[in-house]
Structure formats: C-alpha cells, structure tokens
Structure 1
Amino acid sequence: MASSFSDMGDNLDSLICSVCLQIYKEPVALPCGHSFCRVCIEKCWESREEDCVCPNCREVFPQKPKLKKNVAFAYVVENIVNVKKGGAGGTGGTESHCDVCNGEAAKRCVPCEILCCEQHLKPHQQKEHKLVDPGVKMEELRCTQHGKPIQLYCKDDGRLMCLMCMGGQHQDHKVVAVEIAHGELKDVLAAKYPHVSQSMESVASQLQQVQEEEEQTENSSRDAEDRLEEKRRLVCQFVNESVDLMKSEIKKRKMEKLSLLGKQREKLEKHMESLREGKSTMDKAFQELEAVSFLQDSKDLLKRLETMSHFKSMKMTPLPVLDFSKEEKNLDRLITLNKNFLEKIQKGPEEHPEKVDLDQNNLRRLYGRSPSLDPNSAHRHIKISQDLRTATRTCTKSQYPEHPDRFLYDPQVVSCESFSSGCHYWEVDVRSSSCWDIGICLNSMRRIGVESGLGENPESWCLEKHYNKYSAYHNKQKTDLSVPGDPERFGFLLDCEAGELTCFGDSRVLHVFRGNFMDPVKPAIAVYYDDDSVHFVHLVK
C-alpha cells in the first residue's frame, strides 16, 4: 500500500487545498461540492463582511453553510500521512540519526550499514549504493538462514532469499531479482488501486449517509421528546383543571345541601321548643289539685295543644343525594386509558406491520429482488447462463480466468449484488436440481478448503436438500426440517436491521436464521449433481 500511495503522482493534486496549496487538513465540503481545509475556509469568510463565497466557483451563500466533513478525502489524506510516518505499511517510523553528524537521518545505506542525513547521503548515491528508509532494520535485509544480503525472490514459495539459497529447495523454482519482483508487485497493486479507491469512495459515501442518518435520528428524537414534554404539560393541565372543576362542583353541591339541611334543622328546633313549652304547661296542670283552678286554665291549655298538633303534621322536604359517580367514572376511564397506553409503550412498536402475515405476494411487491450470478465467483464446474440467472453443474471444467473471488473447492457461486441494510426478498427455482444448497454468505467467506462450503462456517447460512432430506445449515450445525411435498420454488426474505433470514417453501415458513446481517451478504447457490441447474426467478416489483 505504501508503494501505491507514493506512486500516485499528479493524482495528489486532487487532495490539495486551493487556499493554502497544501494537502487537506480536516477537509470539509461546501454545498457547491468544493472542499477546503476547515481553517482555510473559515479564515476566508472571517475577512468578508458580505455573504459567504466559495473561493473556487464563486457561488454565493446568503447564510453561512454548515461545514460537513468530507469523509472520502479525510480517509485518503489520513492514509497518506500514515504512509509518510511509516504507519500504513511503512517500516517503523522510529526516530533515527545520521551516524556521521548525528543529524536527522534521511536514508540507510545497505552495503555500508549506516544511517545518513541528506548531506552525507550524496557519496552513497554517487556509488549507486542500495538505500532504504531509516526505519528499516539491517536484519530485515539479510537472509535468516545464511545471513547474506537478500537479493532474490522466489515466486513459487513467495519468499525472499540470498544467492546461497539458490542451491537448496529453491533450485528448480522460478526466482527473480527483488527489484523485478518489486516492480511486478507494484504493477499488480497499481491495477488494483482504482478498485480500492472506488471501494473507499463507496464506503466513505455510506459512512457519510450513516452520519447524516445519525444526525437526523438525534434531531427527530429531540423533536419527539420536546413534543412529548408539551403533551405532558397539556395532560397535567387538563387533569389539574378537571380535578379543580369537579372539586368546585362538589363544594357547590355540598353548600346547597347544607343550606337546606340548616333550614330544616331550624324548623325542627322551633317545633321542639314549642313542644317543650306545651309539655311544661301540661306538667303544671297535672300538679294543680284544685278543680276550679284547673278548669279555669283549661281553655288556654287546649289552644296550645291545638297549635302543637299542627307541628306534628309538618312533612320533611326530601333533599337530593350527593352523587359523584359519573365524575369518578370519567376519571377511571382516563386512568384505564393511560394504563393501556403505558402497556403498549412497554411492549414496543410493532416491527414491519406490513409483513406480519408474511404474504409472499406482498413480499414480492414490496421487497422483490432479482439477483444475478457473479461469473468471477463461479466454481469451474458451474456454468453460468447468459442472463446470469441460472447455475448449471457440469462434468467438464469451464475455462474461467483466475480470480480471488472464485470458489475452488465446492461447486458454488454467489450473486453480484450484496445487501447490508433494508429488506430484500428473492426466489429460487429448483425444479431442475435434486441436490443443492441455497442461502446467503458474507463476501469474506473463504474460497478454498473444506470449510468454504455453504453452511460449513460462521459466514454462511443456507437451506440444503441432500438425499431427499431438507435441513437448515449454519456453522456446521444442521437443523432437520419437515417440508411437505417437494417444493419447486423457495423464497428468502432478508431483513438486515432485524438480523433475520426467513426461508419459505410453497408459501410456508420453513426456518428463520438469525445473525448479524449489517455486514454485506450475498445470495449464494451450490449445485452438486451433473447437469442439474438452479435458477434465480425474475421478480417484477
């Protein structure tokens, strides 16, 4: 990687800030697309009292735009800086000093085995001595077996060697000078460099999307909390006002009834006083022994008794009963509503309510995908159709070119597409095959060896049909499945966020795999019998 960055040449111009003419430091992007060092653009805008202007295209921004980190440039610049420091494939990066003047060393002379600064390096350059970075240790440049300088590279074994190694196990191997091997390796890296750069840009773009989504999530969460606080205030206000109003009504009704009761009490007290007076008069009359005196007062006594009889006939006015059951029922309804609301919050939101019934027609419409097979990954006994949808097992080997993604052990192939977010659904037609594995795998799954087969490792999940028996297979663990009949088509629903791969057979859920599917995964197929074929169904959304 160090050689690749050092050979970029003019491509470094794209990483130069147009203000300070240096490699970016904390690159930020403006809405117009141009990037600058954060400090440079802020200094440019500090010196202006008018609107903010892009120094490159002169686009005017009425309001100061929010400066967002240019993730792609920052990542590349960081790697270049690491290479210069010896941190990205470098040779150490430790401090070293010239063995002649104790100044800062620029290179190490291999034949002379000394460190030299720029001034004392010139004689060694004139003699065309081999020079390396000062951090390289001399023992790294010598053959571990013979202690001689390393001058050769064995392509067959991939080992560095000295001249004495030629007579040993490398005698019939393809051996070249280290300079030639170095040049060839640089050519290989140069060929791969555009792909790596494109991948970095893609990953950087996805990182930027994730960062934007994180920011959006923070903002939406904060807004939701503010809205809830306002609702809390309104609910509390409503409850307080409702309780205060009902208490006021209770007090009003209590005062009305107490007033009526007071009036009745006064009447009864007057009646009681009159009765006491009549009883007292009667007691005196009974004590009068003289008949003449008794009869003289009898007329007045009878009048009083007649008046008291009217009080006896007084009827009590019925008073209303204080009943607050209706108000209490309204509060009970509110309390019950709050309890149900809290229970729903504790249960959490329903995930993907549109696919709860897992109806495959809806899945095709909402999440339907039509994967295409990647020829660069196909085993040599797997033939790919021209439309890149059918994989056929053959008895003869196809003349595929060498490729790091090609399966070399099991007759397998993966799709060109990879998924790391969202929901995706695809179907596979197996009518023309009686022994197969179908599922998904990480692109990092090994391509050679016994453990490179689908289901044989932690990086793959699959359904398999072997000897007319079905099973779910992951990391060498099999789960036998009961599959009615012999389905001609199988469906797969991948939910990356939920970490689920749901497998269907004839509209029935056969098995659900669970794992971390946020890393990119690819649909995969293995076909084991000659002339059998498996086909990705074209789903029209």
Structure 2
Amino acid sequence: MASSSSDIGVNLDALTCSVCLQIYKEPVALPCGHSFCRVCIETYWESKEEDTGCVCPNCREVFPQKTKLKKNVTVAHLVDNIVNVKKGGTGGTWGTESHCEVCNGEAAKRCVPCEILCCEKHLKPHQQKGHKLVDPGVKIEELRCTEHGKPIQLYCKDDESLMCLMCTGGEHQDHKVVAVEIAHSELKGVLAAKYPHVSQSMERVASQLQQVQKEKEQTENSSRDAEDRLEEKGKLVCKLVNESVDLMKREINKRKMEKLSLLGKQREKLEQQLEDLRQGKSTMDTAFQKMEAVSFLQGSKDVLKMLETMSDFTSVKRTPLPVLDFSKEEKNLDGLITLNKKFLEKIQKGPVEHPEKVELDQNNLRRLYGRSPSLDQNSAHRRIKISGDLRTATRTGTENQHPEHPDRFDFYEQVVSRDCFSSGRHYWEVDVRSSRLWGIGICLNSMGRKGWESGLGENPESWCLRKHNNKFSAHHNDRRTSLSIPGDHERFGFFLDCEAGELTCFGDSRVLHVFRGNFTDPVKPAIWVWGDGGSVHFVHLVK
C-alpha cells in the first residue's frame, strides 16, 4: 500500500542513513535491524581494521563474520516515494518551490544534503544533524560546483570565484582560499563599512532630486505665468494696433469726405455754368442760321447781353484742391512694424549669444555672465572678518566673536559666498592684491565645514586655485597640480559652466587651469586666506 503524507513524515528520520546523513541509496538491513546505504556500510567495514568482525555503526553489535547484505524492501519503497514526490510524480502537487516535500505545508527552508524542501516542523531533524539549510527559492544546482558537481564550500580571493574541495588541486592550488562562511563574513563587513556612505549619498541624491523637481515645477509655473502675461500683452498690443489703424482710417475718411464735399460743390457750379453756356450757344446757333436781318437786329441786344455773361465764365479760374497725403500715418505704422521686426529678431537670436559661439574672452564673459558674489557671514571662520558690503574677507590675528553656526568653518580660515549655483553659466573675479597667501575656488554646498577634511581642494567636494610661497597650484581631492604662472597677478577670474561641468580659471586674460566635475550639484564660490592681515575681495562686476 502506498505511503500517505503522514506516513512519510513519521518515517523521514528513519529514511536517513546515519553514515552519510542523506536519504538512503539502495538501503540494506543488518541482522540487528538497522539499515544503511549499501555503499556506506561496505565502506565503513572496509575502513575498520578490527579483528572482532563486522560492527553495526549504530548499536555496535558485532557479527563474527561478514553478513550477507539484503535489500530493505520497505525502506527502499519509502525512499522511492520520496524521490517521486521530489520529481513531481505520484505525490500530485508536492515538490513545488513553495511547499514542504513531506507534508505539502508552506516550505521554510531547503536542505542542501538531502535536496528536500521542509516546513518548520520537518526542518528540525535536519537542523539537529547540522545540515546546510538555504531559502526555498535557492536551486540546489546553484550551490554545486559547475565543474565537479560537488557542494560549494570555498571561495578563491584571487579569482573571486566559488569552488568545491576538488577545485583546490587545480588552477587554485597556490591561491588564497577561504571557507565561504569566512568570505561571506568579510564581504558583509566591507559592505557594512560602505553602507553609511551609500545611505548618505542616497540622501544627497534624493535631496538634489527634490530640488530638481522643485525647480522643474517652478520653471513650469513661471513659464506658464509668463505665457499668460505675454498672451494678455499680445492682446493689448493687437487692440492698440487695431485702434490706431481704425483711428487713422476714420481720420482719412473724414478728410476724404471733406474734399469730396468741396469737389461736389465745384462740380455742381461747373455743371450749371456748362448748361448756361450750352443754352447760349444754342441761341447763337439759331440766330446765325434762321433770323432775318430785321429780326437779328431786333434781338441783338439780348444776344450781346448773354455773351457778356458768357465772357464772365471764361475769366473764372478754378484752384485745384490739394491731394490727400497719408504718408505720415503710414510712416507711423511702418515704424511700429519695424519695431516689431527687430523685437522678433532679438527673441529669435536669444538674450545672449549661444555658448558655443562665445569665445572665452574675459570681456565677453564679464558682459554676458558677470556675477558679484557676496560672502556668507555664517560660514566665516572666527579669524575671518567680513566687510560691511560682504565682499572682502580679511584674516585677523585674533578670533572674532562670531556666533555658533553649523555652517561655520572651525579648522581652516575659510568662508563661502551666499550665492549658490547649480545651472547656467556664471563668471566672477577676485582681487588678491592685499594677500600673499590664498586659496580661491568653489565647493559643494554639502561639503563639511568642520575638521581637517574641510580644506578647499583637500576633498572630492571642492576645487581650489592656490598661491603659496609665490607658487601657484590647482587642488582637488587632495591632489596638487603645479601651475606655471609668470608675474604677480592682482585679479583672477573664474568661469563656471554647470552643464558642461567646467570651472575655468583666468589670470591676466589667459586660461590658467580648467577643473572638471559634477557642477549640477549646488556649488558656492569660496575663499581661503592665510597670513594675518591679508584680505581677498570679490570684485563688483557691472554688466
């Protein structure tokens, strides 16, 4: 009769060979009743050099002579059932990746030596025997060496590869090999050391992402507001233009009607004169053709009188009315059209030249991108005094009574600006004529302000141009680059292109050095002043 799931659960421990600690393979029974794998018991007896005969590994019963090993049919049948369950055979839905292969309950772990999924209840025997247990989703083949098929137990540090015991005799023979548990512990330690840095980086990136999102929303809102304002202004401009055109048309029409009225009156008068002349001519024609001498003489007075009237017509001179001139009005409209054309051309060209067309000339940079940073008093070291206009930092011999602030430098005589840049292009200049020892550059707004790691150029979050002992150098991440700068310059320029990731340093109208980094993170201009009495000044640039 086939074994039920409960039967298998009860007999699971009895199905494990006490020699190899795995489910029986070809089980055989000894006369004492204990069963073992055939290969396991034979190997066990061969390894013993006792003259007392064959001994049972479990109860230590001695058999005077080697007993004939017979197959334990019952145990073999149960083992076959277990195998069928694991293969998804007669066990129905058993053997899935989420169910115990003994009772079909929720699987908690997989036993690697026995290659079986177990729930919490049926896991205990495997735990007691010290079997290796892994999560249910782990495949057994993933825990075996791909070359030898043996369990993975070692880790090669030289090759960073997993291996079994048989691999040690090959190409890993002279390599540094440790147990996987040791490698696991060491790697966890390395990751644990890096974890805080990753967490801090995540926080910084998340904060920057929030800033980007905020700027995006501000940009969309400001753009939408600007478009609405332009729409209203456009409507107003169209309204004013239409009203101007309508006013001009009304004025033109008024002047046209006045002139047409005058022309109409002149026409009526001329038409009446023409009619009178036509009648006089007709009378004269009749007199010439039909009247006899007596009749002609009798009516001559009337004819002559009429002719006198006609002579008055010929003396009349008509003064033509002036031609209507609308050129002034048209010029006004032409001026408005020209103004709009220039306005459109300016918009199409943009407020400034495209950066790729702008040469790195300090005059151009000063005109297009000039900035006048002001110093942040809350960041100034106690030996740094800030001027009233917030543009000059002076190194003092004694400490100033600056209040406590988390942004204040406590180790180096440094100060940063209140201005913070994360996009666009910016140019500023620094006057150093009153200092022989200084450091000037930028730092991330997130750079620490406390301790020896806060020096400009001494960490990955700052970039600094320095003058020390009349020698110039560029510093970043505690790395120094010597610079050959002839002369003693009084002013240095700095051009920050956030999108290009470049900080270009100028001296005497020439490029001295170019720093490269991720300048889309918020950065601030910064100053470091050595030597009592020395001062460095942010120049006020007027575009």
Deviation, structure 1 residue 363: 6.6
- 1:520-539 correspondence runs (5 A): none
Deviation, structure 1 residue 128: 3.0
Matched, 1:370 2:408: no
- Equivalent residue letter for 1:193: Y
Call closer, same or farther: CA 1:367–1:150 in 2, change over 3 Å: farther
Unaligned regions of 5+ residues in structure 2, if any?
1-95, 374-426, 430-439, 445-451, 526-533, 539-543
Q: Give the structure 2 partner of residue 242 of structure 1.
A: 244
Matched, 1:329 2:367: no
Matched, 1:311 2:313: yes
Deviation, structure 1 residue 121: 2.6
Call closer, same or farther: CA 1:317–1:329 in 2, change over 3 Å: same
- Equivalent residue letter for 2:364: D
- Equivalent residue letter for 1:196: V
Matched residues in 2 for 1:253 and 1:166: separation?
112
Matched residues in 1 for 2:465 and 2:330: separation?
59
Q: Give the structure 1 partner of residue 256 of structure 2.
A: 254
- Equivalent residue letter for 1:357: N
- Partner of residue 417 from structure 1, selected from 440, 461, 472: 461
- Partner of residue 282 from structure 1, selected from 281, 284, 300: 284
Contact 2:501 2:517 in 1 (8 A): yes
Deviation, structure 1 residue 243: 1.9
Deviation, structure 1 residue 288: 4.9
- Secondary structure in 2 matching 1:303: helix
Matched residues in 2 for 1:342 and 1:181: separation?
69
- Equivalent residue letter for 2:126: H
- Equivalent residue letter for 1:296: Q
- Secondary structure in 2 matching 1:350: coil
- Equivalent residue letter for 2:270: L
Q: Give the structure 1 partner of residue 349 of structure 2.
A: 347
- Equivalent residue letter for 2:101: D
- Partner of residue 198 from structure 1, selected from 179, 194, 200: 200
Call closer, same or farther: CA 1:175–1:520 in 2, change over 3 Å: farther
Unaligned regions of 5+ residues in structure 1, if any?
1-93, 374-384, 391-413, 420-425, 444-452, 455-462, 469-484, 524-536
Contact 2:154 2:165 in 1 (8 A): yes
Matched residues in 1 for 2:510 and 2:112: separation?
71
Deviation, structure 1 residue 223: 0.9
Call closer, same or farther: CA 1:172–1:513 in 2, change over 3 Å: closer
Call closer, same or farther: CA 1:492–1:317 in 2, change over 3 Å: closer
- Partner of residue 364 from structure 2, selected from 357, 367, 370: 357
Deviation, structure 1 residue 170: 4.4
Q: CA RMSD in A?
A: 4.4
CA deviations on 1:108-164 (whole Å, 9 max, x unpaired) are 211212222344333323333221122222232223343322223334443333333
- Equivalent residue letter for 1:427: L
Matched residues in 1 for 2:219 and 2:292: separation?
110
Matched residues in 1 for 2:337 and 2:266: separation?
40
Deviation, structure 1 residue 503: 5.6
Call closer, same or farther: CA 1:120–1:175 in 2, change over 3 Å: same
CA deviations on 1:289-321 (whole Å, 9 max, x unpaired) are 633322211111111111222222223244232
- Secondary structure in 1 matching 2:441: coil
Matched, 1:151 2:195: no
- Equivalent residue letter for 1:291: A
Matched residues in 2 for 1:173 and 1:246: separation?
98
- Secondary structure in 2 matching 1:493: strand
CA deviations on 1:211-249 (whole Å, 9 max, x unpaired) are 111111111111111111111211221222222222222
Deviation, structure 1 residue 281: 1.9
Matched, 1:181 2:183: yes
Contact 1:151 1:178 in 2 (8 A): yes
Call closer, same or farther: CA 1:331–1:510 in 2, change over 3 Å: farther
Q: Give the structure 1 partner of residue 6 of structure 2.
A: none
- 1:80-95 correspondence runs (5 A): none
Contact 1:501 1:513 in 2 (8 A): yes
Contact 2:110 2:116 in 1 (8 A): yes
Call closer, same or farther: CA 1:538–1:130 in 2, change over 3 Å: farther
Contact 1:257 1:319 in 2 (8 A): yes
Call closer, same or farther: CA 1:138–1:315 in 2, change over 3 Å: same
- Equivalent residue letter for 2:204: S
Task: Provide the aligned length of Structure 1 versus Structure 2.
Answer: 357
Deviation, structure 1 residue 204: 0.6
- Partner of residue 126 from structure 2, selected from 121, 124, 127: 124
Contact 1:372 1:415 in 2 (8 A): no
- Secondary structure in 2 matching 1:198: helix
Q: Give the structure 2 partner of residue 480 of structure 1.
A: none
- Equivalent residue letter for 1:185: L
Matched residues in 2 for 1:288 and 1:264: separation?
36
CA deviations on 1:242-263 (whole Å, 9 max, x unpaired) are 2222222222222111111110
Call closer, same or farther: CA 1:223–1:355 in 2, change over 3 Å: farther
Matched residues in 2 for 1:145 and 1:505: separation?
65
Contact 2:208 2:521 in 1 (8 A): no
Bigger radius of gyration, 1 or 2? Answer: 2
- 1:494-505 correspondence runs (5 A): 494-497=496-499, 502=504, 504=506
Matched residues in 1 for 2:222 and 2:323: separation?
53
Matched residues in 2 for 1:501 and 1:284: separation?
110
Call closer, same or farther: CA 1:515–1:207 in 2, change over 3 Å: closer
After TM superposition, the structure 1 stretch with the greater mean CA deviation from structure 2, 172-181 or 339-348, is 172-181
Call closer, same or farther: CA 1:166–1:227 in 2, change over 3 Å: same
Call closer, same or farther: CA 1:178–1:512 in 2, change over 3 Å: closer
